């Protein structure tokens, strides 16, 4: 917290005794020095942090008292959430709107499976290795993607994802187009497998939120926002635009690969159509748009809404998808900053504040 003294206001604008411009009325209130507090965290954000820690600790005990179906459901929504958090970092904060992040989601899943089935690596250890492989492959992919911008970048990333899908569909060692099963987990008891998968999913969600939050609070986070708003101006200020964009793209690919590897450990079966489906990115965009793009809380709020709609309306088939689209349109029209963005603008809510604000003002006293 920084405290800045504000000098006493001087009402004199013209010289000359007796002039109304140089003399305060007998009982007028004059400004006295006051202090502005430059703060980042608020009472609400500190309370939210405490509640989040308590909730995470409580959630960690779920395998001891909850049902296995609850854990499987959490793992699935956690994978969507991690994917959405990384897409929000890429598009909401970095300005790179990609509809092809499923390329890294599927790649991470396939690398995990190949390490487990063919190299004898424990699949739980192979999860971060799959994410690392996705991050590494994102580097050469970026050389192609970064040659495009705007809508061409979005379409180009989708085309790249389709290339990944078609490539794995022609690899017979992993089942070709029909896919294959993760056999490396057969020797692990079901209850143990589900518990470990659940704990890893919970840890990955917490790590993803913390990573994005700490990054955005740093100088690099400010640089990323500057690049999003105006690349030319940011570069003129000495910000390494290309290097920053590449770093964010690689981090987002790592997160997508992590979500993919985690998802298919829980699902036990993978296929090109499931791994590289554009639905992964479409649902992530839905969560971010509904919750609020460019806000850490956005994917969290959007994931809760998506989970509720999926749980209670998914049996309606096509009508369920139409409902998702209709809700996205309504929010886009009437709540342009998302539901959390609207709440933040109207009531000042901020659970993960990344910017400093001034608190305080001029104090007045009567004479």
User: Does residue 297 lie in a domain region?
Assistant: yes
Dihedral angle at the C-alpha atoms of 57, 69, 117, 110, nearest 10 degrees? -80
pLDDT value of position 207: 95
Confirm whether 364 is domain-assigned.
no
**How many structural domains comprise the chain?**
1
Residue (of 30, 205, 195) closest to 124 by Cα position: 195
Is the pLDDT confidence value at 192 over 70?
yes
**Rounded CA gap, 150 and 98, in Å?**
9
Residue 290 included in any domain: yes
Strands (E), the chain: 2-6, 29-32, 34-39, 180-181, 269-270, 357-359, 363-366
* Confidence grade of residue 360 (pLDDT, cut at 50, 70, 90): low
- Tokens 């300005």 — which residue? 95
Summarize pLDDT for 291-327 with one digit per residue, the tens: 999 999 999 999 999 999 988 887 887 888 888 889 9
User: What is the C-alpha to C-alpha distance for residues 100 and 71, in angstroms, rounded to an integer?
Assistant: 28
- For residue 217, being part of any structural domain is answered with yes
Report, as an integer, the average pLDDT of 275-281.
96
Q: What is the pLDDT of residues 15-38, one digit of tens each?
A: 444 444 444 444 444 555 555 665
Structural tokens at position 38: 């430059």
**What is the per-residue pLDDT for 301?**
94
- pLDDT recorded at residue 350: 74
Give 338 or 37, the one with higher predicted confidence. 338
- The answer to whether 64 and 215 have CB atoms below 8 angstroms apart is no
Is there a domain that residue 91 lies in? yes
Instruction: Note the pLDDT tens digit of each residue in 211-241.
Output: 999 999 889 999 999 999 999 999 999 999 9
Helical residues (DSSP H) of 237-317, grouped into ranges: 241-267, 272-275, 279-291, 297-313
Using CA atoms, how far residue 151 sits from 79, 145, 251, 355, 357, in Å, is 26, 12, 22, 30, 35
Whether the predicted pLDDT of 146 surpasses 90:
yes
Q: Is the pLDDT of residue 58 over 50?
A: yes
Q: What is the dihedral of CA 212, 217, 220, 226, to 10 degrees?
A: 100
Query: Taking a C-beta distance cutoff of 8 angstroms, is the pair 206, 56 a contact?
Result: yes
Q: What is the mean pLDDT of the chain?
A: 86
Strands (E) across 175-261 are located at: 180-181
The CATH number of residue 311's host domain is: 1.10.3470
pLDDT at 120 over 70: yes
| Any domain includes 208 | yes
Asked if residue 237 is part of any domain, the answer here is yes
d(CA 183, CA 360): 62
Whether residue 341 is predicted with pLDDT greater than 90 in this model: the reply is no
Alpha carbon distance 68, 193 (integer Å)? 11
Indicate whether 90 pLDDT > 80: yes
Give a yes or no: residue 136 inside a domain: yes
d(C-alpha 67, C-alpha 185), whole Å: 20
Domain extent for 87: 43-357
């Amino acid at each position: 917290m920084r405290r800045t003294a504000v000098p006493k206001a001087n009402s004199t604008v013209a010289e000359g005794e007796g002039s109304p411009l140089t003399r305060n009325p007998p009982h007028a209130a004059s400004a006295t020095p006051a202090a502005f507090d430059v703060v980042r965290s608020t009472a609400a954000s500190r309370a939210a942090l405490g509640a989040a820690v308590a909730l995470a600790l409580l959630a960690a005990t779920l395998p001891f008292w909850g049902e296995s179906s609850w854990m499987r459901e959490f793992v699935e929504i956690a994978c969507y959430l991690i994917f959405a958090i990384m897409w929000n970092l890429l598009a909401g904060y970095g300005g790179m709107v990609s509809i092809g992040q499923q390329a890294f989601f599927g790649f991470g899943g396939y690398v995990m499976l190949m390490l487990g089935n063919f190299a004898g690596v424990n699949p739980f250890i192979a999860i971060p290795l799959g994410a690392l492989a996705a991050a590494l492959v994102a580097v050469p992919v970026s050389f192609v993607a970064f040659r495009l911008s705007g809508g061409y970048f979005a379409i180009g990333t989708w085309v790249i994802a389709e290339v990944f899908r078609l490539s794995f569909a022609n690899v017979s060692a992993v089942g070709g187009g029909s896919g294959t099963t993760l056999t490396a987990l057969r020797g692990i008891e079901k209850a143990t497998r589900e518990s470990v998968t659940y704990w890893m999913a919970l840890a990955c969600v917490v790590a993803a939120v913390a990573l994005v939050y700490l990054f955005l609070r740093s100088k690099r986070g400010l640089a990323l926002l500057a690049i999003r708003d105006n690349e030319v101006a940011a570069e003129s200020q000495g910000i390494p635009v290309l290097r920053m964009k590449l770093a964010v793209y690689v981090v987002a690919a790592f997160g997508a690969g992590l979500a993919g590897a985690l998802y298919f450990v829980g699902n036990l079966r993978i296929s090109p159509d499931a791994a590289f489906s554009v639905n992964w990115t479409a649902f992530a965009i839905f969560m971010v748009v509904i919750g609020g793009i460019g806000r850490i809380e956005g994917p969290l709020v959007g994931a809760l809404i998506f989970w509720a709609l999926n749980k209670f309306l998914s049996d309606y088939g096509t009508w369920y998808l139409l409902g998702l689209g209709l809700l996205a349109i309504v929010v886009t029209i009437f709540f342009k900053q998302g539901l959390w963005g609207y709440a933040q603008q109207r009531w000042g809510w901020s659970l993960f504040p990344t910017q400093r604000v001034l608190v305080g003002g001029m104090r007045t006293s009567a004479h």
